[in-house]
Amino acid sequence: MKNPLETLFIPAGILLLGFLSALLLPAPTFGIGLAQSVMKWFHLMDLNQLYTIVFALWFLFLGTVEYLLIRFVWRHFISRAS
């Protein structure tokens, strides 16, 4: 680690990228049958709880993927050029 604040930058970057991508990309939706079976499997009370969990996981997944992609591009192409 070159910067002592790098441990704070990584989660903050993931959350920021997830927020930005959640605005641009639609979250996955379920059909009624699949939604009811997932609700029964996780013992959820209603569909709002299911979609709160789905949106939160989608948000974190997109942020992580974008962070890793940008980090890969930065380390392999941009930082070597300078």
- Quick check: 47 and 39 in contact, CB under 8 A? yes
Return the domain boundaries, the chain.
29-82
Judge if pTM exceeds 0.85: no
pLDDT at 34: 93
Q: Measuring CA to CA, which residue among 64, 37, 65 is closest to residue 50?
A: 37
pLDDT at 42: 93
pLDDT at 41: 95
What Å distances lie between residue 39 and 3, 27, 54, CA to CA? 44, 17, 12
DSSP 68: H
pLDDT in tens, the chain (82 residues): 577 777 788 888 878 877 777 777 777 888 999 999 999 999 999 999 999 999 888 888 888 888 888 888 888 887 776 6
C-beta atoms surrounding 77 within 10 Å: 9
pLDDT at 81: 67
Cβ-in-10-Å burial (0-12, 13-18, 19+) of 75 comes to exposed
